[in-house]
Structure 1
Amino acid sequence: MLPSLWLLALGTALAGPPKPSVTVFSGHLDHAPAGDTVRLLMDKGEVKAPLSASGDFRFEFKDLKQNTPTSFSYARQRTELYLMPGDQLVMHLDFKDFDKTLTYSGRGSEVNNYLAQALYKYSYGPDNGLPRIQNSPKGTPAEAVQAAGALRQARREFLASYAKAHPLPASFRRDEQLAIDITWAAMQLAYAAQHSEENLPEDYFDFLASTPVRELNQHFGRSFLDNSMMARFIMGYQYRLVPGGKFSTDPTEGRRIYQTATAELGDTKARSWVLQNLMFDNIRRNTAGAQAFYPTFRQYNRDSAMAREVRKAFALRLSMSAGKPAPAFTLTDNTGKKVSLSDLRGKVVYLDFWGTWCGPCMKEMTESAPALKKKFEGRDVVFLYISVGDPEDKWQQTLTEKQFTSPNSVHLRTTTYDVASAYQVDGYPSYYLIDREGRFIQVYTSRPSEGDKTVAAIEQALAR
């Protein structure tokens, strides 16, 4: 029996010490503001841990079974982690200089120190002349392609040099290479989305042939960050597939769209997701195009649950067609008075769902809405604003400081999404034109910044 025992001991020694059964992520945040909670977005949603008075926190995971890209946040500061089963990871940083001072120690630190340095170099740190991750690439098509390629090359070289000096697991290197390649493709797709109604060079989308979409599909659903990476790719690709994002009313176009998506993405979750996303977007904003595409969707769709959701979306959207009653609501205005939609009968209502937290909303409110309201002063038009999700003090302060109130405007607030859901708000700001009888004239009507188009729509509503 002794030889067998010796071989067993040798095998155990060669395998190294066993990984701890519990994965631990802890840390210390110097100078962190009090009053918030440390949050991680992982595979099953958000998990939280308190931050002690001394700036310490701790998470323990007894059931972490796979490598998990993770989003960390505290007091509006964020970073990315990569947790592996058995990690005993410790975060260190000075909150006054979050990204620059972020470091890790313990099991798993090599991977996460790489991530901290890469994010500082290519995303969060000062512009030091290195290529940067861009959500809105600028310049010509050739310049956009060049910028994405330079970033990919720089990130690949940094990963290779770091891996030479530090032991990075092969599984992490594969995941990071995938993230680098998908970001490279997503940047080029983002440029195409911004110029979707322009004529891009014929070979612009050749990069899709070497984009590792099938590898991305393997990680779909693994974590919030994986799904976010898929979403960035999909949001750009849908404008490559359907320029302008709107289906044609020609029903024969549906087959071409499916064939293109299959040729470039394969029969994958990415293909399903982009087509479903386009379907729901068009149901809301281009119902005639969605109805033309629907027979093709039914022919190729194999997801019965998705089919039910599409039928439900059609029914909801048709309930908001021109001439249908706008959903009733009662909310509190900035003076404390209860206001119902029915109180505004007899006037045309230009309804705006917005929030102080929404950059495009604030841009419309400050730069374009004042002139639109002034143009219709003294006429039977009410500019009705519903702030969604704002704390009352922030909302009231913004209304006062920005001088958003006016004789022909009503300002309401809600902390829930019930009213927005009833109006099928899918992005902020969203605008609706309602007639004197409380019925829809236009759903998702034009913005104040669209100038003459919006003025003409309101004038037509007044003339009815």
Structure 2
Amino acid sequence: MRVLLTISLLVLFFVGCKPTPNQTVQITGVVQNPTGEPIELVYFSDFTGNKREVITLELDAENRFDVSFEIPAPQSAILRNGRTSIQVFLQPGDQLQLEADAADWINTIAFTGDGAPNNNFWVEYQNVLGVQLGSAFFSNAIMVSSSDVFKNVVDSTLVLQLAFLENHTTVAELSEPFRTFFTAEMQYAAKNRLLGYAATHQRLNQLQEPPVLHQGFYDFLNKPDLFNDNLLNSEAYSNFLLSYLGYKNSIRPTQFSDTLSANEIIFALAAEYIPGQSGEFAQAISINREFSFGEIAQAVPMYDKFIASATSQDLKDRVTRTWDAVQALMPGKPAPDFTLLDINGNEVSLSDFKGKVVYLKFWASWCGPCMRQVPPAAELKKRMANQPDLVFLYVSIDTDNNAWRSTVDAHGITGIHMVTPGRERGAPALYQVKWIPTFYIIGRDGNIFDNRPPQPSEPNVDEVLLRALAT
């Protein structure tokens, strides 16, 4: 059976090396009309393990802030005000001053200081071409276009994007790392759109078969400079590596066994088709994903093989950190305790439920897969109504408290409800939450009973919960 791997990653980017004292970034500024929502800078410290760092911009009485932190290399980040966000670009040594109005976040952000030209350009691009050439534009083009027309659309928009850079009045002020970043993002985003055309056109048009592609559609994959180990800090390039492997698997004459997981297939394909550190980078992603969301028994052989064969010590260290973190949350290990306010404002700790079984869910109101588990969870609660020692504990990572509360009320989600903004700290970080929904079962003894339990929609969920209750 032909397996088509389609992997979509919402990522920034990261280059792995140890920071040194001259790699400090300082950002100061003032935010007018703050709304009370958290203002945060978010960046990836390890893309292969989906690990993000969050720096809160704490405002003083005059709405000013001052933060300093270290980054190992130039990288992209997200500056967000509640649920409104925009990308920025950071380089070691930057000393940025920011001014913005929280009531009109996207349109009022302006920078001065070291690194300001890069960021003012990047913000302008996002507000001009980024809006016009967003996901809605390309989704519509994919749906209505034949392959040759869509290829022309992608090629022409790439020319437009690169011309926006080269013809901009501040182009001479932009740093070389930023120019490299911007060019790579645009070029590999174009490649990703072409790789995703067939499957997306079929899905959007509800076709039984994928569209016929014109001859030479994939010729761009035959260029000698397709891979570049210097671009592992590019979101679009990292996405491209995985999309490329999905394409290669779809045309591979010899198919993999149905017993292999998607991550095991990625691991094997990366070794076969992607040379150098780019291939090892893709393998590290597959290992970390299998450790975090797959089967440990399948992840360990991949890990052992990688440790024995990989040339990058940095990537070896990354997968080892993931494996160590996973082992700390294996069944039988103490469940990390946490204390949060519940939806009624009462302080509640996980340890309050010792002696009972806790079905723990990390989720968010904006998460489609999370919400799809709500109806089956309601049915599960009916089936378990005669189990008073079973606690349904929900920890939302919503940054919008009103959205969280209204979703709980609108859908009648019963149980104990808590919220903590983002997955990067607090309870979600303690439980290594990389994607949502994430579930755990905590036993009566306060230890983890199951770190990969079935979700409410899965047929064996009753069996597993009853087994935990009987222990």
What's the TM-score, normalizing by structure 2?
0.61
The worse-fitting range, judged by mean Cα deviation, of 290-299 and 177-186 is: 290-299
- Whole-Å Cα distance in 2 between the matches of residues 426 and 149 of structure 1? 37
> Paired residue for 1:154?
157
Q: What's the secondary structure of 1:154's corresponding residue?
A: helix
Change (3 A) 1:85 1:341: closer
Q: Does 1:301 align with 2:310?
A: yes
TM superposition shift of 1:166: 1.9
TM superposition shift of 1:275: 0.6
- Whole-Å Cα distance in 2 between the matches of residues 455 and 32 of structure 1? 47
> Paired residue for 2:134?
132
Asked if structure 1 preserves the Cα contact closer than 8 Å seen for 2:365 and 2:398, the reply is yes
Asked if structure 1 preserves the Cα contact closer than 8 Å seen for 2:26 and 2:67, the reply is yes
Asked if structure 2 preserves the Cα contact closer than 8 Å seen for 1:193 and 1:236, the reply is no
Q: In the alignment, residue 343 of structure 1 is paired with which amino acid?
A: G
Change (3 A) 1:365 1:46: closer
> Paired residue for 1:12?
none
- Whole-Å Cα distance in 2 between the matches of residues 67 and 174 of structure 1? 10
The worse-fitting range, judged by mean Cα deviation, of 291-300 and 22-31 is: 22-31
- Whole-Å Cα distance in 2 between the matches of residues 417 and 69 of structure 1? 20
> Paired residue for 2:6?
none
- Whole-Å Cα distance in 1 between the matches of residues 427 and 116 of structure 2? 46
> Paired residue for 1:180?
186
Q: In the alignment, residue 218 of structure 1 is paired with which amino acid?
A: N
Give the CA RMSD over aligned residues: 5.8
Asked if structure 1 preserves the Cα contact closer than 8 Å seen for 2:71 and 2:92, the reply is yes
For 1:55-454, what aligned pairs fall within 5 Å after superposition?
A: 71-74=78-81, 77-82=84-89, 94-101=101-108, 112-123=119-130, 125=131, 130-133=132-135, 150-151=153-154, 153-160=156-163, 163-164=166-167, 166-169=169-172, 171=176, 172-187=178-193, 207-210=220-223, 214-215=227-228, 217-218=229-230, 220=232, 226=233, 228-229=235-236, 231-233=238-240, 236=243, 260-262=269-271, 264-268=273-277, 270-284=278-292, 285-294=294-303, 296-303=305-312, 307=316, 310=319, 324-325=331-332, 327-328=334-335, 334=342, 336=347, 339-340=351-352, 342-344=354-356, 349=357, 351-356=359-364, 359-360=367-368, 363-364=371-372, 366-379=374-387, 382-387=390-395, 397=405, 401-402=409-410, 406=414, 409-411=415-417, 424-433=432-441, 443-448=451-456, 450=457, 452=459, 454=461
Q: In the alignment, residue 355 of structure 2 is paired with which amino acid?
A: D
- Whole-Å Cα distance in 2 between the matches of residues 435 and 69 of structure 1? 41
Asked if structure 1 preserves the Cα contact closer than 8 Å seen for 2:34 and 2:63, the reply is yes
Q: What's the secondary structure of 1:445's corresponding residue?
A: coil
TM superposition shift of 1:282: 1.8
What's the TM-score, normalizing by structure 1?
0.62
TM superposition shift of 1:180: 0.2
TM superposition shift of 1:293: 3.5
Q: In the alignment, residue 395 of structure 2 is paired with which amino acid?
A: S
- Whole-Å Cα distance in 1 between the matches of residues 260 and 71 of structure 2? 49
Unpaired runs of 5+ residues, structure 1, are 1-21, 221-225
- Whole-Å Cα distance in 2 between the matches of residues 120 and 402 of structure 1? 34
- Whole-Å Cα distance in 2 between the matches of residues 417 and 60 of structure 1? 19
- Whole-Å Cα distance in 2 between the matches of residues 24 and 418 of structure 1? 25
> Paired residue for 1:6?
none
How many residue pairs are counted as aligned between the two chains? Answer: 416
Asked if structure 2 preserves the Cα contact closer than 8 Å seen for 1:36 and 1:51, the reply is no
Unpaired runs of 5+ residues, structure 2, are 1-23, 47-52, 251-255
Change (3 A) 1:303 1:206: same
Q: What's the secondary structure of 2:128's corresponding residue?
A: helix
Change (3 A) 1:456 1:316: same
Asked if structure 2 preserves the Cα contact closer than 8 Å seen for 1:282 and 1:289, the reply is yes
> Paired residue for 2:4?
none
Report which of the two structures shows the higher radius of gyration computed on alpha carbons: 1
Q: What's the secondary structure of 1:385's corresponding residue?
A: strand
Q: What's the secondary structure of 2:355's corresponding residue?
A: helix
Q: Which has the higher contact order (CA 8 A, sep 6+)?
A: 2
TM superposition shift of 1:352: 2.8
- Percentage of pairs with the same residue: 15
